[in-house]
Amino acid sequence: MSSTPSLEPPYGERDARGMASLIEAIPEHIEQALARTDAAPWQLPLADPDLVAVGGMGGSAIAAELTAGLHADRMPRPWLVVRDYRWPACVSSRSLAVLSSNSGNTEETLALEAGARARGVPRVAITSGGELAARAKAAGVHCQSLPGGMPPRAALFHALVPVTRLVSALGWAEDPGPAWREAAALARARAGLIGPASPEAANPAKQLARACAGRMPFVYSATGPTAAVAVRWRHQLNENAKLLGHSATVPELNHNEIVGWQHAGAMHRGISVIVLRDPEDPAEATTRLGLTAEYAARQGAAVHEIHAVGESRIARLTSLVQFGDHLSLYLALLGGVDPTDITSIDEFKRRLAERSTAR
């Protein structure tokens, strides 16, 4: 019998908590989020904030990063993503604070909620419950509800759809509903190509996982929407596949990181460079990504390219996120690790709580 792990289902105990099913449900998550926000649209405490600051961590923050990537060239005011305990000084009573926590109990987000309240910053929340929901209810703050019971990283689209609709509610972008419906249909069709039921011989996500197994992934992209997708890929590779990873963008990486490739060695030969491509990438970025990939290949890295598909920005972003989520699942299976398990985070939180109590 071959010792090479199979990527064909059923996965049984290798995925005992069902991460594969959660990734396969991306189209349904989009549709459910659309229905939920149709039924309960945003109620904003001010009409024209000087900026929007979204406070959150991990899977709760990436929705804001992806939204910023989608609309950065169109939004008339700054959009900040704050992954910290404290707001920057520019967040004021003229701003809108968005508190995002899937569980509602994220330590940093609750600290930001308290900070916004103390400063008199108008705020809204997005959560499945917990302390954040309780505080929002007590203060009469509008709260967008998320479904509970799944890891925050697997609930991305439940948060991403309403956050993009927040931009529309502000009047900063058109209603994203039609684009999201395209994205859901495309994701459902793409599942037949990259999902678990598609055999490795015909499945580009399984093939990429096989090619990247045993290597450290570097995800390179242009700025804009694909930069936030590269961060999402890195996070999924961290949490699902239990791999260290790295992401960077052009043109910045061509002014510093490329020198790290200069003296090729064993480390460089152990890297897989994955280049994310989008039809809207500027010509300068397209050229730079191509030259960077060529150089990394000459220095011994394995280089791969993944192209976004779809008409709208939202659909193309979804296609890349969906591919990366499947890639992280298949790398977990090849590595013999549970894609849902986050023992290291749980252990860190326990030790942090112990240290805080001892102070």
H helices of 170-239, in order, are 177-194, 204-212, 225-239
Yes or no: say if 107 and 83 are a contact pair by the CB < 8 Å rule: no
- Write out pLDDT tens, residues 21-52: 999 999 999 999 999 999 999 999 999 999 99
Cα gap 169→165, rounded to integer Å: 6
Catalytic residue among 28, 280, 284, 349: 349
Q: If you count DSSP H runs as helices and E runs as strands, how many of each does the chain have, helices first?
A: 13, 9
Per the annotation, the verdict on 255 as an active-site residue is yes
170 is written with which tokens? 């502000």
4 is written with which tokens? 């090479």
Quote the DSSP letter at residue 10: P
Domains in the chain: ranges and CATH: 19-175 (3.40.50.10490), 201-335 (3.40.50.10490)
Catalytic residue among 13, 255, 263, 354: 255
Per the annotation, the verdict on 263 as an active-site residue is no
- Write out pLDDT tens, residues 71-116: 999 999 999 999 999 999 999 999 999 999 999 999 999 999 999 9
Averaged pLDDT, 318-336: 98
**Distance (Å) of CA 263 to CA 71, 289, 302:** 38, 20, 16
Cα gap 244→237, rounded to integer Å: 7
- Write out pLDDT tens, residues 137-194: 999 999 999 999 999 999 999 999 999 999 999 999 999 999 999 999 999 999 999 9
Per the annotation, the verdict on 28 as an active-site residue is no
Catalytic residue among 71, 182, 239, 326: 239
Model confidence at 1, pLDDT cuts 50, 70, 90, reads: very low
